[in-house]
Structure 1
Amino acid sequence: MRSGLARMVGGALAAILLLTAAVAAATLWSDRRDRARHDSDMATGVDARHSGGQSARSGLIRKIGGALAAVLLLTAAVAAAALWSDRRGRVLHESDMATGGVGARAIPIMTANGCSGCHTIPGVPGAQGQVGPRLDASLADRVFIGGVLANNPENLIRWIREAREINPHTAMPSTRITEQQARDIAAYLYALR
């Protein structure tokens, strides 16, 4: 599905680029021709005000070129939004599959268990805590979780459930939430990238 969408967007952009290039070439050719006529008329003393049809045609071509440029920009914006949405969906799916959780269920779990009191977490209302580390897009790139565990989904799930059993000196409490709830939270956090 993703490759079909990418091909469709790419084909539409290529067609619009070709059309815009053709109009731009026609505009440049028309402007060059009008300048040459104007220079010729000035050299021969002919009144340039009587060649109004040529400048009207050139103005029309410029307007068409401007409209095509606007369409090109709009198409590029729509294509970028579609590709971003496709990427975002893929990231959500990958994090759900890697953790066995459903990230969409995590916000109420984190709110009910006080995660927002200690951590700053994008997308979680009131999660502006300063005690624990920021749980943002950088989490997926960190080497360690809690300073002691290798960063992988199973260790993050373990850490969320039983941090004090892993490191008795951590400020992170053992939440004792269910394994599925911890998987949902891990899926949400890994999807922030």
Structure 2
Amino acid sequence: MDQLIVGGARARTFATARRGQLFDQLTDLFLAEGFAHLTLDDIAARLRCSKSTLYTLAGSKEQLVRASTVHFFRRVTDQVAAAVPEGASARERIVAYLTAVGVALAPGSDQFMADVAAFEPAREVYEQNTSIAATHVHELIVEGVEAGEFRGVDAAFAADLTATMMVRIQNRGVAESTGLGDGEAYRELAAILTAGIRV
């Protein structure tokens, strides 16, 4: 079904494009509805493809979920990077970065986030990306302190505070205690963090 173009580079290009399209569709489905309740038959029917096509993406539903979660966070990374202005102040970049993270995570339904939190392979992907994001914010805080833009706070403490809140957002603690979605929580974190350490 997928081999509409045959031979050499054109076939590989088509297969790669089709694979990317399927991952986009799969990821959008999971974001909207979660994944724990879906069988491979359900997924194939919703994507209008065969189960054998799904097996070209991953060898099992569990591997498919993990691969889709990785695909989602690659999209998030690209979206966030495009939203952070070059040459801006550290404060502006922190606000832009955390706000962009919030916007990029916003399509994830409560069910998707709950399913990620409950499924270790997907949760590990989220945790890894949260750690990378916290490290980046730490670097921006240090840069802002050195530039005199932020108060002479302990940058490591401010970064640890950020990382702690990012983990609480990721593991649904903030949603449960405040009712805020992940996207809203990241925007609030950006506002509170930068206001609190600004000179």
Q: Which TM bucket (shorter chain)?
A: under 0.3
Structure that is richer in helix per residue: 2
Q: Which has the larger radius of gyration?
A: 1
TM-score (norm. length: structure 1): 0.22
